[in-house]
Every structure is written in C-alpha cells, then in structure tokens.
Structure 1
Amino acid sequence: MHLPKFVPNVQRAAALLALGAGALLAGCAVGPRYQAPHADVPAKWSTQAGATAAQPDLHQWWLRLNDPLLNALVDEAVRGNLDVATAAARIREARAFANQSDSARYPSLNGTAAYTRAGAGPNAIAGLSSTPESGTASPGSPTHLFQAGFDASWEIDLFGARQHAFEAAREGLDAAQWDLRSTLLTLIGDVTTRYVEARGYQARLALARATAHSQEETARLARVRYTAGSTSGLDVANSAGEAQATLAEIPALEAAYAQAVHSLSVLTGKPPRALLARMQQTQDVPTPPLPVALGVPADALLSRPDVRSAERRYAQSTARVGEAQANRYPRVTLVGSLGTSGTQFGDLARHSSIGWSIGPSVTIPLFDAGRLKAAAEIADAQRDQSFIAYHAAVLAALQDVENASVTLSRETERAEGLQHAADSYSEASTIANALYRSGSTSYLDLLIAERALFAAQDALIQSRVRIATDYIALNKALGGGWDGPIAPD
C-alpha cells in the first residue's frame, strides 16, 4: 500500500509523545517500594541434643533410610500425585497471568477491513439515487465500497498502575513456584510417613501372631497337664483366654495396616488397593541415621518453601497497593487511526481516500463515591495481612524444627530404655516358660512374664516407628523436599 508523504510525520509525532511519556513515567510513579521483611530469628536452636549444628544435608534425605521400595514410591508420587499436578497447573495459570499483565504495558494495534455492496431498486427516487456522473452506479445497479485501516492505542503508564500490576503478577508466579515446592515437601513427608507406619503395623502383626502362637502352645500344654491332673482348670482357662486376647488385637492391626497402604497408594496417584501386592512382603521398619544436622535457624527459613512463598505473597500485595493508588490518578492514553477506502479493491493502494488521526486522551476520576479510595484501603489491609502471614510462617517453621528435634531426641532415649526392658522381659519369659514346663512354678508367673514381654516388644516397635517419623518430620521442618526434575508444567 502506498501511503501519503505526511505519514512519516505522524510516526515522528507518535515517537515524540512516547519519549515524553517515558520521561514522565520515572518521576510520576506512585506506591510503596517493596523491602524484604526482616525475620527476627535466634542465632541457634534451643535444643541440640541428638543433633549437630553442622549444615544439614537435605538433598534426597529419604535415600538415607536405605529402602529401595520407598525410594521408588517417592518417585512415583512426584510423577502421579494429584496435588502436585494441581500445583503445576497453578504455575501455568500464574505464568499466563503474568504474560497478560506484561502485555498491557505495550501498545495495541488492530487491523480492520470491510466490504460493502449496496444498491437501490428500479423505482427508486431519482434525486435520492446515485448517478453515473457521481462515480457510482445508477438505480438498479449495485455499488461497492472497500475499506481498510489500523487502530492503535497505548495507555501511557504515567503513575505506574500497569507496572505495579505486572510486578504483582510476577511475584504471584514466584509464589506459585514455591507453593509447588511446598506441595512436594509435604507429599514426600506423607509418603515416607505412611510407608514407615505400614512397616510398623507389619512388625506388630508379626509379633502378635508369634505371641498368640506361643500362647496357644502354652494353652495346649495346660490342657495336657490338666488332663493328667497336675494342674487346675484355672490355668487352662487363663491360658486360653490370654491367647484369644492376643488374637483379638490382630484384626485392628490389619485394618490399620490396610488403611496406611491405601493412603500410600492414593498419594502416588493410584487406586487404594494398588500397592497391597508390592507391600505384602514384610520388611523391617526403616532405621534413620542419627544424629541429624540442624544448622542455624536462618538456614531453615531459606530452605522452607512455605516461608519463601509467604514472602513472595507479601511482595505481591505490596505491588497491588501501588496499583490501587495509581488507579486514583488520571489515565493518559495515546490513540491513533489510519483508514483508506475506495470503490474498487485496487483503489486502496492507488486512488483511495486516506484519513488519519492521532492524539492523547485523558481520563480523570472526578467522582466515584469513594470507590477507588476504598480499593486502595483494601489493598493496604491485604498487604498487612500478608506481612502478618509471613511472620506467622517464620514462627511456624521455627516451632516445627524445635518440636521435631526435641521429640526425636527424647524418643531415641526412650527406645534405648525400651530395648533394655524388652531384653530383660525376654529373659524372664524364657525362665518362666522353662519353670512352668518343669512344673516348678504356677501359670500365673508365666502369664505375667509373657504379658510384660509382649507389651515391651510392641512398645519398642512403636518407638522405632516414632523415631523414623520424627526423623521425617525434622527433615520436613528443615525444608527438605524434592529438588530434582518434575513433570513439565
């Protein structure tokens, strides 16, 4: 298309206006400038028992439990968990929103084209119809009109509203990415915890079945001795009742085991019964390596994705305050249009009628009954809430580490005591069994010894499960999560 010589002048005028707007932009932007919040944290943890102050190694910490099946389940969960998929979709949403906000800072250009075919009937009034002398067809002959053009507009971000909106969207994208990391951290902690619990239930089931079998043998011996007249019916009744009482605990343990495996299956994105076959073979409860390095509190805040997300949300709300404040000021928009028309398509490039317009428009909020002021106050209050939420996340992170550390330390001490108790009760049970079989003691002594041994061994298994889960909780509290590749978002 051949345009008139005055079109470059239009372009120069637009460029001058753009340069002038850019010069004003730096000096007219309104709104608070973001400053990262300061977190008042202690120099060291209050409890170092059972832990070291060295820098913690959080890289794939679950591998140190030395369980290949657990490692495989963690990988499957990262790929198949629905919460992770949702968090990844939210990243895509936040990225698209950031791109949308970024594009609003630039000019928009729209092209238009139209074709009109019109005519009048043979009985049309001559004075109102077109004539050949006027360049158009006579009545009864159709006319043609071709039109083409461009419309452009650019809202000059004089007070920074568009810039603040883009910053808010960009901070929201950062927060969404940290939210994904937080979801992965929680997921891996849940997978490892459910796995440890399932292995614990398996160990308790094996103990209960072995104890019930031993008690049934004792009950059989009591019946033999009763038949021979060497014991009373009281021993028979007590021994049978004790065996049945132990057997009665098995269904509850089986149900708890099934629930743990069902939960583990769902965490990996599979149906509840999907892992029953893979978990069927009994394995020991994973034993974590101790002690655990804690580092310093400031390191935990840098590693915790929920704290990092809360800080990004605070930055986002700060940008929204600036956007709301800038919306209270006038808006300057540079608009322009260029159009051409002709009765034939070829005329658009040669003998067309060309028109153009360019100039700024200003929108000044004179009266809105306090709507824009209220919007700024809302944004400011939301910023305060984000600031409080950040400090709440910091305190929660510190509390999580302190709680997990002290719990792991005390449970380790408790397990040592339970191990000694189980060893002593095992020896007592062996002696009581031998004495009862030789007829040197009553069944009551054997009953007391077997009950104490079963309770001590069961408590020891539960303590080992707690140590493993406390180890998991401590690594979660320190910010240990998935740091490898994930499915493309």
Structure 2
Amino acid sequence: MLKLTFKFPALCTIAMLSGCAALDGTRFAEQSTESLNSISEWQQQIPSASEKTYLTDLIHSEALEVLIQQGLSNNPGLQQTALAIQIARENVANVRGDQLPQASLSVSQNNTEGSDAVYQSSLDVSWTLDWLQKLQDSADASQAGLASSIAADQYARDLLASSIIDIWFQLVQQSQLIDIERTRLRVLEQNEQTIVERYRKGLDELTDLDSARSQSASSRATLVAYLQGHKTLQRSMAALLGKTEYSSPESISFPQVQIPLASVPAQDLGRRPDLQQAYLNIRIADLNSAVAYKNLLPSLSLGLSLSQSNSALRDALFTSPAWSVLNQLTIPLFQGGSLRAQARQADLTAEQTYWAYQEKLLAAVQEVENALGQENALSAQQAHISDALNNAERSFETYQTKYRQGLVTFLDLLTIQTQTFDLRVQKTQLTYARLSNRITLGLALGLGVKS
C-alpha cells in the first residue's frame, strides 16, 4: 500500500512536469495564430485592385460559370473529398459515444441432462468519469478532424474551379495562336507566289524560293503542334468536368478579369482553406498530445451490474435481479515506459504539424507576393509588346509593297513579317499569363467558390 501511495503522486508529478503545457491542447495552435497575426502588411500593392469574395466575382462569363458548376457537380476527386467528410462525421459520432454510459444486455440458456433449462440474464452499465477532460479532448480532436475534412474539400473545390478557369484561358490562347499561325502560313505561301511571279517577269531570281518554302514548312509544323495542343487541352477540360470528352466553342475570346485586392494579410491568408486545414491539423495534434499525457494519470469508472437466473425466460428477465456496483480507479504504474514514450511522440508530432503549418504559411505569403509582383511586371511587358506590335504592323504593309516594287530584299520582308507574327504570339501569351496570374492571386488571397 505504501508503494501505491508513492507511485501515484510520482506519476502525476512526471506527467505535469513533462507535459503540463500540452494538457490543455492549445500550445502549438496558439503559436500558429501568433505567426499569422505577425504578418503586418503586403510588400506590394496594386492601385486598381478591387475587393471580391469569390473567384467567379473576378470574371464575368456565363459560359465559364456553367463549366465550373459542372465540374463541382461531377468531378470524381470532389466526390471522394465529400465522402471523406461523411466518414469524419461518423467518426465524431463514434468518439462522442465514449463520453456516454455504456450498457449491454446478455441472455444465455444452460441445459443440463436430467434438469430443466436455466436462463441467465445480465444487464451491465458502465461509465467512465471524464474528470480530466480526456474524453472531451478526444471528442474535440475528432470534431477538428471533421472541420479539417471540410476545409480540405473546400480547397479541392477552389483548386478545381481555378483549374477549369486556367484551362479555359489556355483554350482561348491556343485558339488565338492557331489563328495567328494560319495567318502567318497564308502570308508565307503568298511570298512563294510573289517570288515566282517576279521571276516570270524577269524581276528576280529563284534563290529566295527555297527560303520561302522552308519558312512555310516550319509554319505548318508549328500549326500541327498548336492543333494537337488544343485537343490535349480539351481532354484535360473533360477530365476536370468528369466527362470523357469536351469540345470548346469555335469562337472564344479572353474575358475581362479584375484584379483582387490584397488588404490585411491575416484576413487574406485566414480565408485560405489549406491554411485552415493546416491549423486544424495542429489543433488535432495538440489535443492528441493532451490525451497522451492524461493517459499517465488515473482514470475512474463506475459500473452497475444486474443479473438473474431462472428456469423461466420471462422470470429471468423481469423478476427482481441481484445487483452489484463496481467503482474502479485505474492507476498506470508500470508499462515499460510506453505511455511516456507515447506522450513524447504525440508532443513531437504536434510540433511537427506546427512547423508544417509554418512552411505552408511562408509559401502562402510567397505566392501572394509573387503574384502581386507578376501583375506589375506582366502589365509593363504587355504595354511594351503592344507598342512594338503597333510599330511592326505599320511596317508590315509598307515592306510588302516595297518588295513588290523591288525596293527591299526578300530577307528584309521576311524579317519584318516574322517579327510581326512573333509579337502577336507574345501578346497573346502575355494576355493569358496576366489573366491566369490574377486567378492565381485570387486563390492565394483565399478567394474560392461558394461551398
């Protein structure tokens, strides 16, 4: 008895000293909140940005909104995350059941040769007193797990919507590149005809014909690549929509996309479901750590047993039974250090999830800052390319006329033609990059789709 009296305070002291900070299940969760609130402001700003709530608020396109709704309804990946939420809900109900009294009824029949059958019935009721809030911590952890599943589902929905938007933008870009390349090919084929006509008139030699044909063949190869890329994008869109095939409209253009406002970092990043999920994972780990340390402390359970036996089944069930009450105090004395090892392991896991959150938080900040910087850089690039293209297009017709008059060489004409079409390609690519970056910025700022 003296040994028991010594062991109990000793174990309590060990538990308190080794994990008192973890017993309330909030240690690393509080630190992660402080990390988020420590980000005071964004380094870059965009004056023309506007405050929005959802990704779809940035774009005004009914066709695109229809595609997003189709994807949210039919995408196989989202169906899996929705099922994960249901599984988490069942887990919450399962864990909450541990906090309630447990009751079981058993009825047995015993047959002995030469005597009547004897029926035995037993009703057992037990209840673990949650005086340390250990069961409550487990219930809170399961509830946080449900919230984590919901956040994961929302982030999957946001990613799907942004992917559909991006594929749509790529389809627009690819369609415009195809049109540009077809126009380039027509001009190059006209160059071949012009060279032959000038040769027949005795105005020129055929030395430039091979160069012209080489340029036309190269353009045809590029056009084939663009067409195949367009088909690949259509298949990618079909997969996102949960379909086997998808055909984009023949005539589509880039929609207007507004710039999302980056305001207060803690508010912007706090909307992100992936960061919410990372925070909830810390909360779960904190609570599991608290439970592990509380496992070092005593547990108290109450039990009531009602039993009866009789040769008649009805009397065995309903006559006055014998009853007994069992109050049980369980004190962990020696388990080879496994409980303390489990507590330390849970504590280390909680710290690990905290650093995983820190990594995700830093990456999120970088995503926002990179997207803000890209918007400014792409805007400047687009302006310069537009100026260059305007100048090139003014020279385009002039050089064609001068070549027919013999005032410039075919190489001069080909140079300005190539420059003009290449600038058109660059402008289209920059337009796609800028619009796609605005969606990336919106996603980084926590804009998503309606749940």
Q: TM-score, normalised by structure 2?
A: 0.89
Matched, 1:228 2:204: no
Matched, 1:161 2:134: yes
For 2:203 and 2:249, the matched residues in 1 are separated by 44
Residue number in structure 1 paired with 2:61: 67
Matched, 1:47 2:44: yes
Q: How does 1:215-364 map to 2 (within 5 A)?
A: 215-271=188-244, 274-275=245-246, 277=247, 279-289=248-258, 291-348=259-316, 352=319, 354-364=321-331
For 1:229 and 1:29, the matched residues in 2 are separated by 96
Once the two structures are superposed, residues 417-440 of structure 1 have per-residue CA deviations (whole angstroms, 9 ceiling, x without a partner) of 111111111111110111222333
Deviation at 1:356, TM superposition (A): 1.4
Matched, 1:447 2:414: yes
For 2:152 and 2:322, the matched residues in 1 are separated by 53
Once the two structures are superposed, residues 28-81 of structure 1 have per-residue CA deviations (whole angstroms, 9 ceiling, x without a partner) of 9981342633124443211114554x6x2122x335433332211111111112
> Gaps spanning 5+ residues in structure 1: where?
1-27, 121-136, 138-142, 485-489
Structure 2 counterpart of 1:423, from 375, 390, 396: 390
Matched, 1:38 2:34: yes
Q: Give the AA of the match of 1:288.
A: V
Whether contact under 8 Å (2:25, 2:288) holds in the other structure is: no
Whether contact under 8 Å (1:418, 1:459) holds in the other structure is: yes
The structure carrying a bigger helix percent of its residues is: 2
SS in 1 for 2:123: strand
Deviation at 1:146, TM superposition (A): 2.4
Residue number in structure 2 paired with 1:461: 428
Q: In the superposition, relative to structure 1, how do residues 263 and 30 fare at CA in structure 2: closer, same or farther (>3 Å)?
A: closer
Deviation at 1:197, TM superposition (A): 0.9
RMSD of aligned residue pairs (Cα, Å): 2.1
Once the two structures are superposed, residues 207-247 of structure 1 have per-residue CA deviations (whole angstroms, 9 ceiling, x without a partner) of 00111012101211211222332111122222222222211
Whether contact under 8 Å (2:53, 2:447) holds in the other structure is: yes
Q: In the superposition, relative to structure 1, how do residues 100 and 231 fare at CA in structure 2: closer, same or farther (>3 Å)?
A: same
SS in 1 for 2:333: coil
Residue number in structure 1 paired with 2:99: 105
Q: Give the AA of the match of 2:285.
A: S
Deviation at 1:282, TM superposition (A): 2.9
Deviation at 1:111, TM superposition (A): 1.2
Q: In the superposition, relative to structure 1, how do residues 349 and 430 fare at CA in structure 2: closer, same or farther (>3 Å)?
A: closer
Residue number in structure 1 paired with 2:145: 172
For 1:431 and 1:156, the matched residues in 2 are separated by 92
SS in 2 for 1:293: coil
For 2:164 and 2:107, the matched residues in 1 are separated by 60
Deviation at 1:306, TM superposition (A): 1.2
Residue number in structure 2 paired with 1:57: 52
SS in 2 for 1:360: strand
Deviation at 1:188, TM superposition (A): 1.2
Whether contact under 8 Å (1:81, 1:269) holds in the other structure is: yes
Q: How does 1:15-30 map to 2 (within 5 A)?
A: none
Q: Give the AA of the match of 1:31.
A: L
Whether contact under 8 Å (1:203, 1:282) holds in the other structure is: no
For 1:88 and 1:312, the matched residues in 2 are separated by 18
Matched, 1:213 2:186: yes
Q: In the superposition, relative to structure 1, how do residues 346 and 387 fare at CA in structure 2: closer, same or farther (>3 Å)?
A: closer
For 1:64 and 1:31, the matched residues in 2 are separated by 45
For 1:300 and 1:353, the matched residues in 2 are separated by 66
Matched, 1:152 2:125: yes
- Aligned length, in residue pairs: 427
Whether contact under 8 Å (2:271, 2:447) holds in the other structure is: yes
For 1:305 and 1:349, the matched residues in 2 are separated by 55
SS in 2 for 1:99: helix
Residue number in structure 1 paired with 2:370: 403
Once the two structures are superposed, residues 108-137 of structure 1 have per-residue CA deviations (whole angstroms, 9 ceiling, x without a partner) of 0111122344424xxxxxxxxxxxxxxxx5
SS in 1 for 2:323: strand
Matched-pair identity in %: 22
Once the two structures are superposed, residues 384-411 of structure 1 have per-residue CA deviations (whole angstroms, 9 ceiling, x without a partner) of 1122222222222211111111101110
For 2:38 and 2:366, the matched residues in 1 are separated by 11
For 1:372 and 1:77, the matched residues in 2 are separated by 47
Once the two structures are superposed, residues 446-474 of structure 1 have per-residue CA deviations (whole angstroms, 9 ceiling, x without a partner) of 11110110111111110011011111111
Once the two structures are superposed, residues 292-328 of structure 1 have per-residue CA deviations (whole angstroms, 9 ceiling, x without a partner) of 4221212212211111111111111111111001111
For 1:399 and 1:231, the matched residues in 2 are separated by 59
Larger Rg: 1
Whether contact under 8 Å (2:56, 2:449) holds in the other structure is: no
Q: TM-score, normalised by structure 1?
A: 0.83
